[in-house]
Structure 1
Amino acid sequence: MKPDRVSFNYPCLLTNERGELELVNCDLLNNLPSIEEELASLDCEKSIWVMHSPPYGGTLDINYEEVYSGSKAIRKHIERVQPSLTLHGHIHEAPSMSGQWVERIRNTISVNPGTGEILHAVIFDIDSEGNLLKLTHNIFGEYRVS
């Protein structure tokens, strides 16, 4: 898998802390840490990760064009660290495209609730040690955790 890295060769518009659009030099963006570099600091096994982008190449990142569009760096880090649960979004159509809102990546349960005409949501219960006990989608029902 090639690393997730984007280069910008032109000025970009970003929103500043006051909510105003601001033109920034591409060097600012090109020198930001990569997804891999940012994820390297997250080494907690008994944890729940909330990430906008889903992991690449499974059931949670298939878009309307039937193209995988998740993050390779996120998938690699989930495979390496194995958190208890990861929650994702971004590709809202993925559950309807793949027929799945949950994907197991070894010992990790990854979720993209998706969206539709009715708001989609996922409710989960964990114990005091961070183990996932129950996972329920408000439209699709309960997922058997064990």
Structure 2
Amino acid sequence: MDARDELLKLENQLCFALVTAARNVVSLYRPVLEPLGLTHPQYLVMLALWESSPRSLGDLAEELAMEPATLSPLVKRLEAQGRVSRVRRVDDERVLEISLTAAGRALREQALAVPEQIMARTGMDTEQLTRLRDGLAPFAGRRIPL
């Protein structure tokens, strides 16, 4: 087997390593988020809203690198749980504005324990996780043109 054949091995594929790692990281979060009543995608929405609320659905989708059509059902479920509200902007009814409710703001207090629990589950400290996250920066937060 020559070097070119080695390049085609599954274990040598960046895409496989990233997909497997992403799946495993999400599964680490699942039991930590369950007591909060959140799925991992809902947690990401709440994190963004805890940073800035209200926000338009489009702005939220852009920050989370999601399609609005994918984000909309997540937001609807959070609204059904009483954690966010969805309202059309008065000055532009095309814009759907997402705001935290009192229950959504209160949930932040419980969520403060999530990062520590994830560190405990991974056995990694803040510095190690920061290095790992920063190493993924070329692939995260933006769409890479093909």
TM bin, normalised by shorter chain, reads: under 0.3
> Larger Rg: 1 or 2?
2
Relative to its length, the structure with more helix (as a share) is 2
Larger strand percent: 1
Higher relative contact order (CA 8 A, sep 6+): 2
Task: Report the TM-score, using the length of structure 2 for normalisation.
Answer: 0.25
What TM-score, normalized by structure 1, do the two folds share?
0.25
